[in-house]
A and B are shown apart, each in its own frame.
Chain A
Amino acid sequence: MKELDLYRDPRAVEALVKRIRSVAVRPMQFMEVCGTHTMSIFRYGVKDLLPSEIQLISGPGCPVCVTPAGEIDQMINLSLMDGVIVASFGDLVRVPGTRGSLADARAQGARVEIVYSPADALELARHEPSKTVVFLGIGFETTVPAVAATMLQAARDEVENFCVFSSHKLMPPALHALLSDPSLKVDGLLCPGHVSTVIGAKAYEPVAEKYGLPCVVAGFEPGDILQGVYMLARQAAEGRHEVENAYSRAVLWQGNQRARRITEMVFKPGDAGWRGLGKVEASGLFLRNEFSSLDARKRFALTDKDVPEPYGCLCGQVIKGMALPASCPHFSKSCTPLSPVGPCMVSSEGTCAAYYKYGG
């Protein structure tokens, strides 16, 4: 799409930086909670363009990173079962559990297939009738409707050797858990891009109201992010706390109701554990009883177990924006992208991975 070039145009970038400087009347700290924002900010060197008054910190925007170690272990155990093929998104495969990762399990003979779409996992099941394909459902509201649609298709087509291990999580409850911690100081929230496409900009109204926080939905081009930062700084300077949408080409106030309806047909909310945040009420999505036969937890009688995070690993603090990667004793010494200790270094959206790759 040629028009997108303008969102990367250096002149637009310059103009926005000027605007930001004009409203950066005092120190302000904004948090983003979207893995793609984390990466875009680093890739485009956004922090270097901003005046020193404006700080950007990363929150729990990476679904892989917030998956507790105990769930990673469950996924690895599934992969080691006879007759099971685990289908997973790519960046989950190298996340360490208590004893190795899915990739390590694969090296031991487990069938672990990387898929780009849950639909691919269902196709895999059709092609491997003698195996059970377990799709590892990781992701926030952007990904969930696609998984729900796939499950509806599996049910319609009566594909019996397919099931889903749902580790899906919801963004707004985590935001509330995060923001109610008085030790976190933020002056505004840069709201996710495509999560917002599904849940709508209106989803952040309770956050803006309850915490008196400016909220701006932004896209991923450098111009988009700077516009988002500008609108946050402007709100903060003017003492407003509203929800503004700076990504109107992809996000509507009401979001995508169809996607949400399809999600509700298949999933229901429940309490879920987040790395770093602990248990957050009604923040996870689980399969409705009608879909028990497609529920890996029920099929394999899995039990939840709390396991400690790797010793010294600060992922939990990094995810909350309470610590920077450099303060972790493992960072870039014992924990590197090639041999990660925690998920923040593994995931393509992880904060530690971003700092390692881009510096800063």
Chain B
Amino acid sequence: MCLAVPMKVTRVEGDPDDFFMPPSAMVEAGGVSQQVRLDIVDRFPDVGDYVIVHAGFAIRTLRPEEAKKSLELFQEMTQLAGE
């Protein structure tokens, strides 16, 4: 079952090129913090980015600007219907 809420990256540990120590990040959402693995994420996140998490692993990094853009598209779609 999927966690719908993107979680904000507060700390990044490890190096994507390090063969022995899988990289991970501390993320938080709604006041809850957890550690997630970054082995399979599409883009390596920076602190302040958001990640979609599944089974303890980040599967997608979302930059704040991209989240904003998606939101704007959604707003567009919902506002126009009122006319």
Contacts and interface: CB of A to CB of B under 8 A. Distances in A.
A11 interface: yes
Contacts of A149: 22, 37, 39-40, 57
Nearest to B77: A227
Given A1-B8, A6-B71, A220-B2, A120 B56 contact: yes
B40 A249 contact: no
A3 B68 contact: yes
* Tier of interface size on chain A: 35 or more
Interface in A85-137: 89, 91, 116-120
Contact of A142 (B19, B54, B71): B54
A273 interface: no
Contacts of A153: 22, 39
Interface string A297-338: 000000000000000000000000000000000000000000
A221 B78 CA distance: 14
Given A116-B55, A145-B57, A348-B1, A256 B40 contact: yes
A146 B55 contact: yes
B39 to A, nearest CB: 4
Contacts of A197: 52, 59-60
Contacts of A258: 40-42
Main secondary structure, interface of A, reads: helix
A193 interface: yes
B67 A15 contact: no
Contact of A198 (B56, B59, B82): B59
A12 B78 CA distance: 5
B59 A248 contact: no
A349 interface: yes
B59 A227 contact: no
B56 A146 contact: yes
Contacts of B71: 3, 6
Nearest to A22: B81
Interface of B: 1-2, 4-6, 8, 19-20, 22, 29, 37, 39-42, 50, 52, 54-57, 59-60, 62, 66-68, 70-71, 73-75, 77-79, 81-82
Given A117-B55, A146-B57, 8 more contacts: A1-B6, A12-B75, A16-B78, A143-B54, A146-B54, A149-B40, A251-B60, A259-B42
28 contacts: A1-B5, A1-B29, A1-B50, A4-B6, A7-B74, A15-B77, A15-B78, A35-B1, A40-B4, A89-B55, A116-B56, A117-B55, A139-B55, A142-B55, A145-B40, A146-B54, A146-B55, A149-B40, A194-B52, A194-B59, A220-B2, A223-B78, A249-B6, A249-B62, A256-B40, A256-B42, A256-B59, A259-B59
